[in-house]
Amino acid sequence: MTAALVVYSATFMRYSLAVTPANYLLFACHFINEGAQLTQGYRYLQYHNWGGKEEDLKRKASEASAKVKEEAGAVVEKAQLKK
């Protein structure tokens, strides 16, 4: 869908300037949409093709590990206080 919207926006940006009089409002709307779609496409490629997914999984694993260690420390402290 992102690729289709990139082509669509580029086509209508061209069209908005080709008509007489030039429709700058239509151009601006499709210019903004083009930028948003290109950004979304970059984010998709970064996550799925350029290692972003693996980095995210490593980050989540380290956060989970830190949380488990923190909870274990709290349990140990609680057990020591009961003694």
Q: Is 13 helix (H, G, I), strand (E, B) or coil?
A: helix
What are the DSSP calls for 32-76, one per residue?
A: HHHHHHHHHHHHHHHHHTSSHHHHHHHHHHHHHHHHHHHHHHHHH
For residue 19, give the 3-state DSSP assignment: coil
Separation of alpha carbons 5 and 68, rounded Å: 44
pTM as predicted? 0.64
Per-residue pLDDT tens for 27-69?
999 999 999 999 999 999 999 998 887 888 888 888 888 888 8
Is pLDDT of 19 > 90?
A: yes
Structure-token pair, residue 56: 């995210």
